[in-house]
Amino acid sequence: MGAEEGPAAVKLNDLSFTYPGIDGHPPRGSKPLIEGLSLSLHAGDRCLLVGSNGAGKTTILKIIGGKHMVGVDMVRVLGRSAFHDTTLTSSGDLSYLGGEWRRDVAFAGFEVPIQMDISAEKMIFGVSGVDPQRRDELVKVLDIDLSWRMHKSSDGQRRRVQICMGLLRPYKVLLLDEITVDLDVLARSNLLKFLKKECEVRGATIIYATHIFDGLDDWPSHIVYLAHGKLQLALPMEKVKEMSNLSLMRTVESWLRKEREEDKKRRKEREEKGLPKHDRPVDGTRLVGDPARAAARVMNNGWAGGRLHSTLAGEENFFFSSNTVLRQ
């Protein structure tokens, strides 16, 4: 995919991935969540990542964003290892914007929405080393009122501030995961125009995962379709239009309907063979066994809150490290 000239901005080489258990290894018998995925995108490409819920879109974006460890050569961004080269994100060359804007707050909880009593102006202008002209353009594109207070703003208003802060520094590769879900029609349209200009003028590469296709028919340069963690299709948008006379939304809808029918047929065949409809999931957090004891016991999957040791479910005085337990 992408232009043939020059090195790939994003390159996936036979990527396979399974979420690890507590010991850092995939649970025995688990199937790869992402399997055998190869893909190349070049400077200026605008890739639309599509697929049903659970297809693996968010996981792939996080892997490309360096948030999950994979082999050094499985995922290369700008010629560097996505996970192992931390300068990709620290320099701003690689930027990831996810669907949630949250933080962990001591004694309050995890994943608390950003809605403290602070103005949009203080948050946006608090980012140092930013080109003032680019900052002003983004504030205008997203129609942000700098007097907004985060604890009084709507979800859409907070989303605009999040996007603005995420785009303040010029990037070379941008990953977007359902980032426009809270935006109104006008804000979304203006943002998409800005992102398209970023690719055409600066040569940025953007991968955008979304389920909202209104106004996207002429936005992407490439389409990537995933199903069950496997690549089903990766084509330039011109080729997709040649394959289908339908709109982008109807085209993707036809792919997903066909996928759904195939899944139903597969489940029916399993039932006819006396098998359960769905494969039995492998629980990667269920750990059993204590080498120091004869009886195997079920353990939790992490550290007990407020302690520096893991605990046995229902027993608070268990000090055996969960790093050395045996998997069932």
Last residue of a domain, one of 282, 299, 314: 282
Residue 108 lies in a domain: no
Residue 138 lies in a domain: no
Indicate the average pLDDT of the chain.
81
Angle, CA of 198, 201 and 206, to the nearest 5°: 35
pLDDT surpasses 90 at 326: no
By the 8 A CB rule, do 324 and 22 touch? no
Q: Report the b/e string of 53-75 with b at 16+ CB within 10 A.
A: eebbbbbbbbbbbbebebeeebb
- Are 52 and 178 members of one domain? yes
Residue 159 lies in a domain: no
Residue 167 lies in a domain: no
- Are 265 and 178 members of one domain? yes
- Are 270 and 306 members of one domain? no
pLDDT surpasses 60 at 258: yes
Least confident range of 25-39, 47-61, 164-178: 25-39
Mean of pLDDT values over 75-95: 93
Residue 162 lies in a domain: no
Residue 124 lies in a domain: no
- Are 303 and 278 members of one domain? no
Indicate the number of domains in the chain.
Answer: 2
Least confident range of 2-6, 12-16, 91-95: 2-6
By the 8 A CB rule, do 30 and 284 touch? yes
For the chain, where are the alpha helices, taking DSSP H only? 57-64, 87-90, 120-125, 132-141, 155-167, 185-202, 237-243, 248-272
Mean of pLDDT values over 86-110: 73
pLDDT for 29 equals 72
Q: Computed from CA positions of residues 26, 30, 31, 34, in that sequence, does the dihedral angle turn out positive or negative?
A: negative
Q: How far apart are CA 28 and CA 129, in angstroms?
A: 48
Q: How far apart are CA 66 and CA 166, in angstroms?
A: 16
| Residues in Cβ contact with 205 at an 8 Å cutoff, skipping those fewer than 6 apart | 9, 10, 41, 42, 43, 44, 45, 46, 47, 172, 173, 174, 199
80's tokens: 């560097």
Residue 83 lies in a domain: yes
Going by pLDDT thresholds of 50, 70 and 90, the confidence category of residue 114 is: low
pLDDT for 103 equals 53
- Are 65 and 178 members of one domain? yes
Q: How far apart are CA 157 and CA 155, in angstroms?
A: 6
CATH number assigned to the domain comprising residue 176: 3.40.50
Between 120 and 222, name the one with better pLDDT: 222
- Are 38 and 61 members of one domain? yes
- Are 226 and 299 members of one domain? no
Q: How far apart are CA 111 and CA 117, in angstroms?
A: 17
- Are 176 and 320 members of one domain? no
- Are 178 and 257 members of one domain? yes
Give the up-direction half-sphere exposure of residue 121: CA atoms within 13 A in the CB hemisphere: 4
Last residue of a domain, one of 282, 301, 316: 282
- Are 83 and 50 members of one domain? yes
Q: How far apart are CA 91 and CA 263, in angstroms?
A: 43
Residue 6 lies in a domain: yes
pLDDT for 174 equals 97
- Are 86 and 225 members of one domain? yes
pLDDT tens track for 121-141: 998 998 888 999 999 999 999
Last residue of a domain, one of 282, 298, 316: 282
60's tokens: 């792939």
pLDDT surpasses 50 at 323: no
pLDDT for 149 equals 87
pLDDT for 107 equals 46
pLDDT tens track for 283-296: 554 433 333 333 33
48's tokens: 């639309």
211's tokens: 């389920």
pLDDT for 321 equals 38
- Torsions phi, psi of 16, nearest 5? -130, 140
Residue ranges making up the domain that contains 300 = 287-324
pLDDT for 7 equals 83
- Are 82 and 17 members of one domain? yes
